[in-house]
Structure 1
């Protein structure tokens, strides 16, 4: 009998700690018409590739490199990603941005993606240096209001090499991969 009471008490404690917030993507904020909707994070499927020196038959999950073009000179601006309806689906925490997050020019308007951009990415008013210096990650509403109108990714392509390998390749070799 005592064990049944303990189990019931434990279950009641767990349920009492649950929240009924209608917008779980924004911690501590209930959904309202004035709040932007934050969608669950996008997942980019990794690709299985055989790495040099790896035994035959083995596979490793490796993130493929990607490249993009943009509508203007926004290479020094932090990007966020929207869904097709304009809802914010990805934005970096301040701690996610580092000097190595800036894209690298590979020529002919193409940039090596080093921040996690996608085809629906847009650019904010914050430079990488400004964003890294923020005391906390901006709210979704602050981020949406910081998007530069018309500053967007205009072309996006996967590269046939792992991201780590692309980071050390010559830009001309990366550009050649885009032409294939």
Structure 2
């Protein structure tokens, strides 16, 4: 019993980190299952905060990912407004995002997702981003909106976040 307790205490003592809680400067290539969503900050050519994003192929020609209406019903995952025209993503965008003509509220009312052909006709802007930064895992921030606003205001996004666009 004493040996088991000693082993448990020794193992627990070795499970600490001396790394600072600051977000990484680069996002990992792929996150393991259960990893925190990234804190993605972006700016757009126009105000698309209430529009549904879809992900395009790298060449921008076809839609590769889109939400089901049930994914946005009950809660509208609109981005959080930040300083200097930035938005904090709450839906899951990326460098190859497009925004639909439909608002989250309108999309949530659909009984089924539109077909890919219908979604193509609903694209409002295929190249909406003017800036995109990955600021590491959201869990690295006690209050993501407040903490990320502080980075923006201090002009530290390029040094603390990975600039994707």
TM score, norm. by length of structure 1: 0.60
The structure 2 residue matched to 1:110, chosen from 69, 79, 86, is 86
Which protein has the larger Cα radius of gyration, Structure 1 or Structure 2?
1
User: Given the superposition, is the C-alpha separation of residues 167 and 103 from structure 1 closer, same or farther in structure 2, using an over 3 Å criterion?
Assistant: farther
Give yes or no for the alignment of 1:86 onto 2:61: yes
Could you tell me which residue of structure 2 aligns to residue 5 of structure 1?
A: none
Could you tell me which residue of structure 1 aligns to residue 43 of structure 2?
A: 69
Structure with the higher strand share, 1 or 2: 1
Separation in 1, partners of 2:42, 2:52: 14
Could you tell me which residue of structure 2 aligns to residue 9 of structure 1?
A: none
Any stretches of 5+ residues in structure 1 without a counterpart?
Answer: 1-43, 49-59
Separation in 1, partners of 2:114, 2:140: 29
Structure number with greater CO (CA < 8 Å, separation at least 6) is 2
Separation in 2, partners of 1:155, 1:166: 24
Could you tell me which residue of structure 1 aligns to residue 30 of structure 2?
A: 45
TM score, norm. by length of structure 2: 0.65
Separation in 1, partners of 2:101, 2:142: 27
The structure 2 residue matched to 1:173, chosen from 150, 155, 161, is 150
Trace 1:101-140 onto structure 2 (pairs within 5 A): 101-140=77-116
Question: Any idea what the Cα deviations from partners look like across 1:2-41, whole Å, max 9, x if unmatched?
Answer: xxxxxxxxxxxxxxxxxxxxxxxxxxxxxxxxxxxxxxxx
User: Given the superposition, is the C-alpha separation of residues 141 and 86 from structure 1 closer, same or farther in structure 2, using an over 3 Å criterion?
Assistant: same
- Count residues in correspondence: 126
Question: Any idea what the Cα deviations from partners look like across 1:46-81, whole Å, max 9, x if unmatched?
Answer: 279xxxxxxxxxxx7322211111110111100111
Any stretches of 5+ residues in structure 2 without a counterpart?
Answer: 1-28, 160-165
SS class of match (2:82): strand
Separation in 2, partners of 1:143, 1:63: 26
